[in-house]
Structure 1
Amino acid sequence: MDVTVLKGKAMERLLLLLLVWLGTANIGQAATLKVCYDQWPPMTIFPSETASERGVVIDMLEQIYSAKGYTLEYYEVPLARGLAMVADGTCDMLPEYLFSKSAETGFVYASQSTFSYPTAFVIRRDDPWRYKGIQSIQGKRIATGPGWDYSSMSADYQNYIDDPDNLNFIEVIAGSDDVIERAFRMIKQRRVDLYADNVLVLQYVLNKLNLHDELQIVHPGLEKNLVEMPIFSTQIPPQKRQQLIKIWDEGRLAIKGNKQQQLLKKYRVTFAE
C-alpha cells in the first residue's frame, strides 16, 4: 500500500481518537448549577430516606436546566443561610425569594417569577368566617411564624400582627420545619382560629395531615399574590449569570398551562393560572 495512503489513514485514526477524547472530556466537565434552597413543601422539599421528591419548584428547575446540559447540585439549608451562600458565591442561585423593589446585595433577580401565588386562609370546618378586609380579623386568634413578613400581600395584615395592642391574638409558632403543620393542629384544637399562606402550601398540608373533615381552606385570601423570584449570585461572571437567567426566563415561560398543571398534580395541588 502507498505510504501516503497509510499516513492518511493514521491521521484519520488519530483525529477520530482526538474527537472521542474531547467528547469524553466535555461529558466529564458538564456545567454544574449549584442550587441553595429551603424547606417549603410542596414547592421545595428536603428529600429523606423514604421520599426522594424535592418539590414542584425543584422539579421545574431540573427540567429547565437539565435540558440545557446542566447538572444540578443541591444545598438544603435554611433560607437565611441560603441567601448568604448565594451572596458569597457558594451557590449560584436560590429558586424562590420574596420579590422586593428594594436594592439587594449579593444577588440579582431573574425576570420571570417562579410563581405568583394566590393566598388563602385555613379555618375550622364549622367556622363561617371569611376574610373581608382587616376589620374582619378583629378578635380572631391568628397563627404565624417568627419574623414572617406578609407586607407584600397585605400591609394592613402585617401591621395588625405587629401592633402590640393585638399581642394576645397573635400566636407565633417557633420552630423550623413543622410550623405550618402545628398551626393546622392548633386550629383543629381551637387554640387559634386562622392561618394565611400560599394556597398550594395549604392544600399540601391539609392532604398530608388528612384533616379535610376538621379544617377547610377559604377564599378570598390576602389582597395581593405572593410573588417569589429566583435569585442569582453576583459572584458569577456577568455574561455567565445573564445566560443562566435567560435559560430560566425562557424555560419558565415555556412551562405554562398543562405542563405546569402536571408538575402540580404530582404533589396533589392545583390553582388556576
Structure 2
Amino acid sequence: MRPSALFGFWGVSTILWRFLQFLVQPRIGVPEHMHNIGEFLIWLLSTSGPTLAVLTLLGFVFREKWKQLLTRSLTVELERLKHQLQLEQAVHAAGLTPMLESVKHDFQRQLEAYKVTLIAQAEEVKIRGDLKKTIATRYVEVQFERFLKVEAALAKTSGLILNEVLYPPHLRRVEQLTGILESLAEVNVRFNECEMFLSTEERLLSVNYLKTLADFLDHCGPGKDPIARESAVWREAVRERISVENMIRNRIHVMAEIANANPAVTPKITEAV
C-alpha cells in the first residue's frame, strides 16, 4: 500500500475510534460529562491534537499525491463512462440501422417513381410542343402555298381580261374568250382557298375586284365593244388590281421574312424564297 493511502487510513481510523469511545464512554473511560457532539469535538481536539497535527502535515506534504490520485480516479471514471457511452451508442446504432435502411429504401423507391413521372411528363410536353410546332409549320406552309397560287392565277387573269377589253372587235377570237373564262374560274377557286387566311377588309377588296373582272366579260369576245384605256372604268379596274395584288404580295413577303428568320420551322417556304 502507498504511504499516502496508509496515512489516510490511519487518520480516519483514529477519528472513528475516538467517536466509538464517545458512544460507549461508560465502559472505556471517556469523560462522562460529555453529553453532546460539541463536547465530543472539543474532547477529540484536546486528546487528538498531535494526531490531527500529524495528519495535517502529511496532507500538506502529500497534497500533490492526493491531486494525482484524484485526477487518476477521475480519469478512470471518465474512461469508464466514455466506454459505456460508446457501447450504448453502438447498441442504439445497431437498432437504428434496419430502420435507416428501410427509410433509405423507401426514399430511393419514391425517388425512382418521381423520376419516371418527370420523364413521362417531359416526354408529353415535348410531344405536345412538337405537335404544335408541326401544326403551326404546316399552317404557314399551306397559307404560303395558297397565296402563291392565287397571286399567279390573278396576274394571269387580270392581264387577259384588262388587255382583251382594249382590243378592237376584229382582233378578238373565241379561243381567247374561252381561256379568259377558264382563268377567271381558277381565280375564284384560288381565292376561296385563301379565304380562311383573309381579313374582312381583304375579302371585301378581293370580291369587288373579281366582280369588276366579271363585269368586263361583257366587253370580251368577238363583236363586243372595247373599253378605252383612258376611261374611268378601266382606270378604276387597274387601281383595284394593284390594291389586291399588293395585298397578296405583302402577305407572301411577311411569311418569307418569318421563314428567313426561322428556316428550320418553315423549310418549304425557305426553299421557295
Structure with more contact order per residue of length (Cα contacts < 8 Å, sep ≥ 6)? 1
Instruction: Normalising by structure 1, report the TM-score.
Output: 0.25
Bigger helix share: 2
Which has the higher Rg, Structure 1 or Structure 2? 2
Instruction: Normalising by structure 2, report the TM-score.
Output: 0.25
Bigger strand share: 1
